[in-house]
Amino acid sequence: MQSRLDYFVPEGSYWPILGSVGMAAMLGGFASSLHGNTAGTVSMILGFGIIIFMVFGWIGQVINESETGTYNLQVDKSFRIGMGWFIFSEVMFFAAFFGALFYARTLSVPWLGGDGNNLYTGEVLWPEFKSVWPLIQMPDSTNFTVPKGIIEAWHIPALNTLTLLTSGATLTYAHWSLMNKNRIGLIGGLIATIILGVIFLGLQVAEYMEAYQHLDLKLTSGIYGSTFFMLTGFHGLHVTLGTIMLIVILMRAIRGHFREDRHFGFEAVAWYWHFVDVVWLGLFIVVYWL
């Protein structure tokens, strides 16, 4: 094992400041575009471009440093700790939305219907309102879209569960292959995982189209639509990110990167993928099924 003296402290870098500029341009532009400002939209797109450039440049430099043997095992451990706790912070982000769903389902919607000591809430505000879940008929749907139905758990979502669970298995197969110096298995497993990820995303798009075009189930469909689309939407965004990261890992694998005992980049993406997988299981159970 290398000595601690070799812990790599990089030279100064322009990537972070570039990222900050991109982030400010993108988010400031987004806020501005929300108020109908075209320059805001331009700034948003430009900022997004800067961020993409920064991410690829920064990670490219890290990959380069990694491949030229700059990192010792201690650096490797820092990356592991960093990625692990980053994923935990993502879990907490999703927890906020799951919490909103649980709160609406078990507390606020029943209370609006007069549950608990809220008899008069129901009587005074919306006497017609009946508390049911899924909430189709909102207390006052003037500003919202009343859906005709909801997505059935055992159609597309069940298929998607199968897809993602299988992709977890193929990714693990790729990992085993990597550790057993089976490069063909590694690349094959990665390709299978990416294909499954893309299938998942395609099915998710089909599901959204079904919801919007046939069921009138929209983001604006009251608390049901809000929690449904925000939870599945953020999950879909994470699958998209994960798929892009897997593609990068595939490219690296094809170029012969990763040793059987040192392949943190692969593992980090695998952790992320499994995290996305687990979130989906939660979604399938509490959003679609129950």
Kindly state whether residue 184 participates in binding another protein, applying the rule CB under 8 A.
Answer: no
Are 43 and 25 in contact, with CB atoms under 8 Å apart?
A: yes
Q: Which is nearer to another protein, 7 or 176 (CB)?
A: 7
Dig out the tokens for 165 from the structure: 């669970």
Query: Whose Cβ is closer to another protein: residue 66's or residue 167's?
Result: 66
Closest CB to another protein among residues 22, 168:
22
The least distance separating another protein from the CB of residue 189, rounded to whole angstroms, comes to 29
Structure tokens at 213: 């075009």
Q: Does 176 bind another protein (CB under 8 A)?
A: no
Position 56 contacts another protein (CB under 8 A):
no
Q: Which ranges of 4-72 does DSSP label H, i.e. alpha helix? A: 15-34, 38-67
Binding residue for another protein, selected from 49, 82, 149, 202, defined by CB under 8 A: 82
Instruction: Name every residue whose Cβ is closer than 8 Å to that of residue 67 and which is 6 or more positions away in sequence.
Output: 257
Backbone angles phi, psi at 261, to 5 degrees: -105, -10
The 10 Å Cβ neighbour count of residue 96 is 9
Task: By CB under 8 A, tell whether 64 contacts another protein.
Answer: no
Q: Using the minimum distance from each CB to another protein, give the nearer residue, 168 or 225.
A: 225
Among 48, 86, 208, 212, contact with another protein (rule: CB under 8 A) = 86
Residue carrying the six token digits 């989906």 = 280
Distances from the Cα of 148 to the Cα of 207, 231, 285, angstroms: 15, 20, 22
Under the criterion CB under 8 A, does residue 108 sit at the interface with another protein? yes
State residue 5 phi and psi, 5-degree precision: -60, -25
Footprint (CB under 8 A) of another protein, residues 115-134: 116-117, 125
- 36 vs 256 by CB, closer to another protein: 36
Residue count, binding to another protein (CB under 8 A): 72
Least separation in angstroms between residue 265's CB and another protein is 15
Query: Which part of the chain contacts another protein (CB under 8 A), choosing from 163-171, 187-195, 226-234, 281-289?
Result: 226-234
Element at 236 (helix H, strand E): helix 222-254
Cβ distance to another protein smaller for residue 138 or 283: 138
Q: Is the peptide bond before 134 cis (omega within 30 degrees of 0)?
A: yes
Please report how close the Cβ of residue 275 comes to another protein at its closest, in angstroms: 13
Binder among 114, 139, 236, 242 for another protein (CB under 8 A)? 139
DSSP class of 90: H
